[in-house]
Amino acid sequence: MTPDFATITWRGRTVRIECQWIAPEKTDAPLIVFLHEGLGSVAMWKDFPAQVCEAAHARGLVFSRPGYGRSTPRADDEIWDVDFMHRQAHEVLPALFTALGLGDQKPWLFGHSDGGSISLLYASRFPEKVAGLVVLAPHIFVEDKTVANIEVARTAYLGTDLPKKLGRYHDNPDSAFWGWNRIWLHPPFRDWNIEAELDAIRCPVLAVQGIDDEYGTLAQIRDIATRVPTTELLEIPECGHSPHRDQPDRVIVATASFITKNRRQTP
């Protein structure tokens, strides 16, 4: 499917955002917006968003954040700082919604890993603009095992064919990889923590994590439930950091059920 592009102004320059719509003709159906992981893109989701939308009787929007997929790559001198996920949630996402004419809608956000963290931050800053969240393996603080495996990824990128593999999903794999890898391994990022910000979330939340997640412990989603009373937890055995790839059927059924149930409960 040929992607569309939306244009926003961000960091003082024009940025094109790669977008892909799912069932846009279903104008009365709920809208699910998919936010990818730290090395993800529109293409990397493959057909999973379409399967979720079909099961949930929804339409969907999948997009690549700046620096990823076919979106505008990072500028040569652009280095992300500790607040990079906040800026995605507070600046890029609102600008994208405005550019696409979605300013008056309340989407469901479906985020994986960094995309899950960005979804939580958006719902915290704009609690009245979100219908609900489904977050897979989100990060709300930095753990040793996360940093250790991101260091492993750096070694793989420098010494294997990982750049070639990522080139299947990104026009500029260096932009995608180093934007993500450098900030996660930047020493000040070890203090990054968004737990207190979660207190402002008012929408229903489904927090999903694999029991065998190599990038985080179950404390991540359990702490969300402590902070946000509307949270439901799904801890999946035989599942790593990507539940939508390791256990797709389980995630699809849980997501469709969660959205359907909470739509009925909405006044």
Residue 140 phi/psi, 5-degree rounding, is: -120, -10
Tens of pLDDT, residues 172-181: 999 999 999 9
Cα distance between residue 233 and residue 254, in whole Å: 10
2 within 8 A of 58, measured Cβ to Cβ: no
In this predicted model, what pLDDT tens digit does every residue of 210-226 receive, in sequence order? 999 999 999 999 999 99
Lookup: tokens for 161: 């064919």
Structural domain that includes position 247? 4-265
Residue type at 226 in one-letter notation: T
Q: Is 265 exposed, middle or buried (0-12, 13-18, 19+ CB in 10 A)?
A: exposed
Domains: count for the chain: 1
pTM: 0.96
pLDDT of res. 104: 86
- Angle 68-69-72 from CA coordinates, rounded to 5°: 60
| Residue 267 confidence (pLDDT) | 47
Question: Residue 234 forms beta bridges with which residues?
Answer: 208
Q: In angstroms, rounded to a whole number, what is the distance separating the alpha carbons of residues 16 and 9?
A: 9
Residues 234-257 have pLDDT tens digits of 999 999 999 999 999 999 999 999
Q: Tokens 């702490």 correspond to what residue?
A: 223
For position 22, what pLDDT does the model report?
97
Position 83 scores a pLDDT of 97
Question: What is the model's pLDDT at position 91?
Answer: 97
Q: Are 147 and 157 in contact (CB under 8 A)?
A: no
Residue 95: is its pLDDT beyond 60?
yes
The answer on pLDDT for 159 being more than 90 is: yes
Identify the CATH number of the domain in which residue 126 sits: 3.40.50.1820
- What is the tens place of the pLDDT at every residue in 4-53? 999 999 988 999 999 999 999 999 999 999 999 999 999 999 999 999 99
